[in-house]
Amino acid sequence: DATNILLGSSDAATQYFKRTTTDSLANKFRPVVHQSLDKVGASQYYSQAATAYNKVPFTSGKVDPDIENYVTQKAISGLFTEIAQQELQIRQNISSRPTALLQKVFGYAAKAK
């Protein structure tokens, strides 16, 4: 995996972390999302609206009344988008490699490609 990450696509490390950590991150995010949405009543209101929408005939598709799952997935998606942007900077820009280890590893990767 390490070689594939190092010599892979510009977001290979991000994709690896996404694949291996999404479930555990979701488990950590959900309680925080639940608390935040409940605090403002968003879960209840959204659930009611989604349920009513789903009862309307001829709509293009049903919506999931579970806003907590939606918000959790969007938060994780946003996190990995930010990580991918940082990874790209580290791979492309030597000044984005603040440690000797990052300079050595990604310097090697740049030469190997």
Does the pLDDT of residue 48 top 80, yes or no? yes
What pLDDT was estimated at residue 19? 97
Cα dihedral across residues 23, 27, 28, 29: positive or negative: positive
CA distances to 4, 7, 47 from 79, in Å: 22, 23, 25
CB atoms within 10 A of CB 48: 11
- Contact between 103 and 94 under an 8 Å Cβ cutoff? The reply is yes
Q: How much is the pLDDT for 41?
A: 94
Listed in sequence order, the residues at least 6 apart from 73 whose beta carbon sits closer than 8 Å to its beta carbon are 26
Parent domain of 10? 2-112
Q: What is the pLDDT of residue 21?
A: 98
pLDDT of 35 higher than 80:
yes
User: For the segment 52-77, what is each residue's pLDDT rounded down to a tens digit?
Assistant: 999 999 888 899 899 999 999 999 99
Confidence of residue 1 (pLDDT cuts 50, 70, 90): confident
Report the chain's mean pLDDT, rounded to a whole number: 94
If one counts the domains in the chain, the total is 1
Which of residues 111 and 100 earns the better pLDDT score? 100
pLDDT at 113 over 80: no
Q: Within 13 Å of residue 21, how many CA atoms lie on the same side as its CB? A: 14
Exposed, middle or buried: residue 101 (CB in 10 Å: 0-12, 13-18, 19+)? exposed
Q: Are 86 and 8 in contact (CB under 8 A)?
A: no
Interval 13-26: pLDDT, tens: 999 999 999 999 99
